[in-house]
Structure 1
Amino acid sequence: MKRSYSLFLAILTIVFFSGIALAMHHEVKIAEKEGLGKYLADTEGKTLYWYQKDTPGKSACLKGCLEKWPIFYRESVAPPSSISKDDFGTITREDGKKQTTFRGYPLYYWINDVNPADTKGHGINNVWFVVNPDNFPPKK
């Protein structure tokens, strides 16, 4: 009896902590950097970007572009309390892959951001930018 109770507790612990890890995997948070301001990052602190050539619900980053700007996709997103869950969505791209959006715009990573808090993709070709939730999408 004691052995089955211990097994039950072990399974319960694994399920509980797996659920926490899974929930954290879907977390999007707000990071901040001097000179750059606030920006969205994934649960590991990796910066999320938007592409100025995209339009709401449609990605213009295709084929070779994705080698440098991998898509960000989570089936569901756990946003910070200051952002509505409704600000996040999902599109199905022309290539059939799913991609998470913020206020309609697809989100990406930059391949050269190796460490959490890297923002090396910001300003590239004057069309790639971090996502500041306070003023996104920017007025054109």
Structure 2
Amino acid sequence: MRAHPIAFVAALGFAMTACAGTPGAGMLTSADGRTLYTFDQDTDGSSHCQQAPCSTNWPPYSVEAGAPQPAGLTMIKRDDGSQQWALGGKPLYFFAGDRKPGDAFGDGLKGVWHVARKASSGGYSY
């Protein structure tokens, strides 16, 4: 059974999506509804997904010039000098296999990619 998301804006620039069922419950999305992911092999403040094919399949949630900083997110600097949004120091990514807002096909891939989501405690999990 597929969940049908209902998105609401949590802060400037990103949203949390509440869904009936998994994986949507409390998942973080970009302002346009695209699911955001974390990578277990990243260390706080550093991306380990900067070269193809990783960066092709998992593009970074890049900081656009002049973009306001969403509440709860920080910026990290990538090796190429660009900036990427991070949650709790963990870089955030999109998954190229997601085709439309609310898709979360990357969740659990290879056991190391996870949807970033709001935890029941009010914090975030990744």
Q: Same fold (TM over 0.5)?
A: yes
- Superposed CA deviations along residues 64-96 of structure 1, whole A, max 9, x for unmatched, are 110000010233333xxxxxx2x2111111122
* Structure number having the greater strand percentage: 2
Kept in 2: contact 1:28–1:77 (CA 8 A): no
Q: TM-score, normalised by structure 1?
A: 0.69
Q: How far apart, in 2, do the equivalents of 1:117 and 1:129 lie?
A: 14
Q: Choose which of 36, 40, 46 in structure 2 pairs with 1:48.
A: 36
1:72 matched to 2:61? The reply is: yes
Kept in 1: contact 2:37–2:95 (CA 8 A): yes
Q: TM-score, normalised by structure 2?
A: 0.77
Q: Secondary structure at the match of 2:55?
A: helix
Match of residue 17 from structure 2: 31
Q: Secondary structure at the match of 2:110?
A: helix
Q: How far apart, in 1, do the equivalents of 2:100 and 2:69 lie?
A: 22
- Which sections of structure 2, spanning at least 5 residues, go unmatched? 1-11
Q: How far apart, in 1, do the equivalents of 2:22 and 2:78 lie?
A: 33
Kept in 1: contact 2:16–2:28 (CA 8 A): yes
Offset at 1:114? 1.1
* Structure number having the greater helix percentage: 1
Kept in 1: contact 2:98–2:105 (CA 8 A): yes
Kept in 1: contact 2:28–2:36 (CA 8 A): yes
Q: How far apart, in 2, do the equivalents of 1:76 and 1:53 lie?
A: 28
Q: How far apart, in 1, do the equivalents of 2:74 and 2:62 lie?
A: 10
Match of residue 123 from structure 1: 108
Q: How far apart, in 2, do the equivalents of 1:127 and 1:72 lie?
A: 17
Match of residue 47 from structure 2: 59
- Which sections of structure 1, spanning at least 5 residues, go unmatched? 1-25, 79-84
Kept in 2: contact 1:57–1:104 (CA 8 A): yes
Q: Which has the larger radius of gyration?
A: 1
User: How big is the alpha-carbon RMSD for the aligned residues of Structure 1 and Structure 2?
Assistant: 1.6
